[in-house]
Amino acid sequence: MSEDKGAATRMENPLSVIEEAARQVNICNACRYCEGYCAVFPAITSARTFAEADITQLANLCHNCRGCFYACQYAPPHEFELNLPKALAEVRQESWENFAFPRALGTRFQRSGAAIAVVAVLAFAVLFALARFVGGIGDSQGEGFYRVMSHTVMVSIFMPAFILPMLAMAVGLVRYWRATQPTEQASGGGRGWMNPRALAQAFHDAATMKNLSGGHGEGCNFEDEDRFSNLRRWLHQATAYGFILCFLATSSGTVMHYLLDWPAPYPFWSPPKVFGVTGGILLTGGAFGLAYLKTRADRNLGDGRAWGGEMGFVLLLGSVGLSGLLLYWLGQTPMLDVLLATHLGTVLALFLLLPYSKMAHGFYRMAALVRDAQRRFGAAG
């Protein structure tokens, strides 16, 4: 088949995203040039056929580092037209939308994420600003922003706003786990989430962002095919650890307030302040850094339909960190009311959009890493 004829056939009879990804994965399985690049390729070579469950698992295991595309001898203009990063990104995006609960919200955010995020932040910020004039929400004995809105009121608003989306996320993860049950279960790999070796390996790979190292430690080609860099890996780690530290800051403040009877304000070297400031700096730098890298990367190596949603989420995440830092630094100035409303509106928008935004990828990728570790230890055992 000539190059032109192969492309024309696919244009006349377009495949579904699953079918197209399976076509490319089968070619990769025959070639095996990229076997050492990341966890996707050893997973490919461990199977002979690929059902929808296998392709969905591979798609969520892929970190979109793009090194395989730049190394591929079958990439366009070859007649095989391999673009595995794009093919898996489209499957991954479709899976997130299908697993989301409710599904309609997942689809909506991925198509109009930036606009939804902006509207949500502005709407919630205005509501919090207007709430300033409602009696009974402030604490006359409190200091700083607790005088504007008491700790109890904040907990009453944000605890449900966090727990309910997490429950929706849990529904999506259960759907993912059931949908990706492997068709060729390796011996010993069916011990579920409780395989301790698989869990330990998966958490190690997630914590170190191993699959963004390019398989050789020099990083991936996300920004430029001729440039290997660990920058994306480091920015991902900064964002993830920054978010965790910010969560620990809030959690430790709640424990100190209710269990230790130690209300705010807290000194700088207390857990809420240390975790919050450190996490805010990491979250801000990491998220805005990732947004910058997205502007430099080739959109044709991902799912272009979701670019706006992905960018909207990354900017929202960075805005949470930045608004929190500004509130900390300028909270004793006349800007307190505006900064507090902005920060609370940004955090509330992030929480409510969490199951439908790019934030979901962390949960699904963790599940994919566990599933892959089960495969490896099952095959080894």
Give the mean model confidence (pLDDT) for residues 28-53: 92
Q: State yes or no: pLDDT of 282 exceeds 90.
A: yes
Q: What 3-state class would DSSP assign to 224? A: strand
Domain boundaries, the chain: 3-97, 101-380
> Any bridge partners for residue 229, and if so which?
220
Mean pLDDT of the chain: 86
Among 89-103, 139-153, 190-204, 210-224, the minimum mean pLDDT is found in 139-153
CA distances from 181 to 24, 172, 190 (A): 21, 15, 9
Q: Convert the pLDDT of each residue in 361-375 to its tens digit.
A: 899 999 999 999 988
Tokens read off for 146: 């607790």
CA distances from 152 to 135, 146, 258, 313 (A): 14, 9, 10, 28
Contact between 230 and 213 under an 8 Å Cβ cutoff? The reply is: yes
Tokens read off for 256: 């100190």
Per-residue pLDDT band for 1 (boundaries 50, 70, 90) equals very low
Q: What 3-state class would DSSP assign to 323? A: helix
Q: Convert the pLDDT of each residue in 182-241 to its tens digit.
A: 765 443 444 455 678 888 999 999 999 988 887 666 778 777 777 788 999 999 999 999
